[in-house]
């Protein structure tokens, strides 16, 4: 189940990443207008999404949890752009209503959770946080 979820996440990142490179204009609605090099930000984030997708496919073992944490951090890092879009009423991505833009904000935490779950990052973090005695008890 986690493998299928991870591959779906890979697909989502690839589609978004390629979209950033093919249609830069469409993604500018998420980049605050006060930032310099807005088009470059879109392109770099597209390459990052493609690189993260590749890392999700190529990484194995315990390092996969680290990649999952990095993907989740990326989703957190781009969230202010989603807020910018909602506040400023940008119509990019076909989101042409305030309701649509606000609803979209609620999907970002789901993406973070998805990345953490399907890579085992959440489980790895929980295991590291358990006191030694609790680990021995839960392993028995």
- Is the backbone of residue 61 left (phi > 0), alpha (psi -120 to 50) or beta? left
Q: What is the pTM of this model?
A: 0.85
Residue 18 is predicted with a pLDDT of 96
* Tokens matching residue 68: 């999952």
Residue 101 is predicted with a pLDDT of 87
Residue 68 is predicted with a pLDDT of 97
Describe the chain by its helix, strand, coil percentages, rounded to 5.
Answer: 80, 0, 20
Rounded distance, CA 86 to CA 29, Å?
10
Residue 128 is predicted with a pLDDT of 75
Rounded distance, CA 133 to CA 114, Å?
29
Cα–Cα nearest to 81, from 38, 119, 120: 38
Residue 8 is predicted with a pLDDT of 97
Dihedrals phi, psi of 16, to nearest 5 degrees: -65, -45
Residue 134 is predicted with a pLDDT of 55
Treating both helix axes as pointing N-terminal to C-terminal, what angle do 121-129 and 107-118 enclose, rounded to 10 degrees?
A: 70
- Chain-centroid distance of CA 32 in Å reads 19
Are the C-beta atoms of residues 31 and 38 closer than 8 Å to each other? yes
Rounded distance, CA 129 to CA 122, Å?
11
Average pLDDT, 10 consecutive residues per value, the chain (140 residues) = 95 95 90 93 97 97 94 95 88 80 91 96 80 53
* Tokens matching residue 81: 């752009």
H or E element at residue 29: none
Residue 140 is predicted with a pLDDT of 46
Residue 88 is predicted with a pLDDT of 86
């Amino acid at each position: 189940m986690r493998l299928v979820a991870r591959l779906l996440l890979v697909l989502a990142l690839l589609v978004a990443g390629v979209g950033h490179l093919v249609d830069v204009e469409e993604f500018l609605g998420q980049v605050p207008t006060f930032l310099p090099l807005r088009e470059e930000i879109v392109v770099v984030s597209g390459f990052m999404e493609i690189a993260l997708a590749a890392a999700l496919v190529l990484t194995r073992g315990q390092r996969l949890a680290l990649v999952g944490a990095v993907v989740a951090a990326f989703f957190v890092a781009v969230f202010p752009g989603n807020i910018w879009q909602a506040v400023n009423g940008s119509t990019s991505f076909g989101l042409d209503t305030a309701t649509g833009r606000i609803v979209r904000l609620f999907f970002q935490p789901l993406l973070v959770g998805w990345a953490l779950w399907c890579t085992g990052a959440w489980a790895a973090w929980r295991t590291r946080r358990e006191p030694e005695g609790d680990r021995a008890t839960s392993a028995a």
